[in-house]
Structures are given as structure tokens and as C-alpha cells.
């Protein structure tokens, strides 16, 4: 039986990594960390062409009253990032069955280091700095599709946030939302969404078929 998808493309920093815990730890508590992170996300979505990730992290910290040193601490502690618990096992089961890719919003240096934490080598890694723009701008998604040589409708995008659900969907990619962070679900704008789960475990049968999951 043919596979339903020719590739699986992942968001890295929320879809595979528990980056929210690191932001919260650096900020001092979850409420402050989430406020800082959401402000950073607003900055990235408004940049247009790529601006240095580290600078945006620091700018968001300053504008939220946390000070530049808090932003620098996030970068300094970057290697504390860890994948969600089920991620290494899920990726190991998918590796070799279907090409795996990452599209992530950060610098090449930090994105490369975070991708290594996932536990498997990826066939394609596209980082915002390389693509010249942050998601949900179409450029990072298109670069991954081009490097994989896969049509959008044949590439399943595993989103970590609703912004990725919409960004990938606008290019015609079906979307699996791994909402491990429990982010709010909007009432509309989720036309591309095929399924939403708090765990990545259901991705294996979804991609390979229940008999092989």
C-alpha cells in the first residue's frame, strides 16, 4: 500500500523541543516566560526579511521589562533544550520509512544545535536565517519542499503552533498539530489541519498506517 505522504516536515522549537520550559526557566516563572515568548513571536512575525534571532530575543526581553541580560541568558543556556519525551522514539520509528525534514525559526548556529537534540539525522534542515525569513512567511516552507523535491500536498507538516498550521496550510500542506504545549485553539483558520494531539505518538500510525505503527 502506498504511503499517504512522501515526506514529513517538522517545526523544531515547539513541535519537537520543549523550548517553552527553557524560556520559563530563564524568565524566572511560567507567566513571565510565556509573556516574553509571545512578544518575541510577534516581533518575528512582523520582521519580513530575516533579522538576527538572538537580537530579537534580546529586544523582546527588553520590551517586556526583563532586560537584555535575560535574553543573553537564553542564548547561553540554549543547550539545555530537550525534546518532548516521546520524540526520539517516534523519530526513530519514522526514520528510513519516509524522508524527515525540519523548518525552524532561529539562527543557523542555534538551529543546528537544537536539531541534534532530536536524536536522528534529518534529510533536510531549513533554518530561518538560511531562508531569509521567519515562518509563517512562505520562504522557509518552500525551501524545504524544494530541497525534498516533494509537492506540498504530499508533505505532512507537523506544526508546534497555530501559526505553523496556517503558514504550512497556505502552501497546500496538510498539517498534524502536535500541540504538546497546550496552546489555545482558534475558532477558525485551521482548514489545513488534519489532526491535533497533545502527544507525537499518534504520528507514527498516521504516517505509516495503523498496521505498522
Q: Is residue 67 domain-shared with residue 122, that is, in the same domain?
A: no
Q: pLDDT tens digits, residue range 101-124?
A: 999 999 999 999 999 999 999 999
Number of other CB atoms surrounding residue 119 within 10 Å: 15
Kindly report the pTM of this predicted structure: 0.94
pLDDT tier at 211, thresholds 50, 70, 90: very low
In a domain, 1, yes or no: no
Q: pLDDT tens digits, residue range 16-57?
A: 999 999 999 999 999 999 999 999 988 998 888 999 999 999
190-212 as b/e: b if 16+ CB within 10 A: bebbeebeeebbbbbebbbeeee
Q: pLDDT tens digits, residue range 46-60?
A: 888 999 999 999 999
Q: Is residue 91 domain-shared with residue 30, that is, in the same domain?
A: no
Q: Is residue 71 domain-shared with residue 102, that is, in the same domain?
A: no
Q: pLDDT tens digits, residue range 49-100?
A: 999 999 999 999 999 999 999 999 999 999 999 999 999 999 999 999 999 9
Four-residue CA torsion sign, 132, 134, 139, 145? positive
Q: Is residue 29 domain-shared with residue 55, that is, in the same domain?
A: yes
Range of the domain at 186: 7-18+81-212
Q: Is residue 26 domain-shared with residue 95, that is, in the same domain?
A: no
Q: Is residue 75 domain-shared with residue 87, that is, in the same domain?
A: no
The number of domains in the chain is 2
pLDDT at residue number 191 = 79
* CA-to-CA dists, residue 75 to 55, 63, 67, 103, 107, angstroms: 10, 17, 14, 19, 11
Amino acid at each position: 500500500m502506498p504511503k499517504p505522504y512522501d515526506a514529513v516536515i517538522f517545526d523544531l522549537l515547539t513541535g519537537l523541543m520543549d523550548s517553552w520550559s527553557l524560556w520559563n526557566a530563564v524568565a524566572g516563572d511560567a507567566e513571565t516566560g510565556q509573556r516574553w515568548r509571545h512578544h518575541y513571536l510577534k516581533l518575528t512575525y512582523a520582521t519580513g526579511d530575516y533579522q538576527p534571532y538572538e537580537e530579537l530575543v534580546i529586544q523582546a526581553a527588553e520590551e517586556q521589562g526583563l532586560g537584555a541580560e535575560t535574553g543573553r541568558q537564553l542564548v547561553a543556556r540554549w543547550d539545555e533544550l530537550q525534546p518532548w519525551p516521546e520524540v526520539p522514539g517516534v523519530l526513530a520509528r519514522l526514520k528510513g520509512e519516509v524522508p524527515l525534514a525540519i523548518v525552524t525559526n532561529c539562527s543557523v548556529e542555534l538551529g543546528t544545535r537544537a536539531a541534534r537534540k532530536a536524536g536522528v539525522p534529518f534529510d533536510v534542515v531549513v533554518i530561518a536565517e538560511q531562508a531569509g525569513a521567519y515562518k509563517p512567511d512562505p520562504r522557509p516552507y518552500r525551501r524545504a519542499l524544494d530541497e525534498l523535491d516533494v509537492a506540498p500536498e504530499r508533505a505532512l507538516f507537523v506544526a508546534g503552533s497555530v501559526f505553523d498550521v496556517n503558514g504550512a496550510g497556505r502552501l497546500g500542506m496538510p498539517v498534524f498539530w502536535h500541540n504538546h504545549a497546550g496552546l489555545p485553539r482558534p475558532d477558525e483558520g485551521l482548514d489545513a489541519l488534519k489532526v491535533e494531539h497533545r502527544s507525537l505518538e499518534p504520528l507514527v500510525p498516521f504516517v505509516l498506517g495503523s498496521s505498522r505503527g
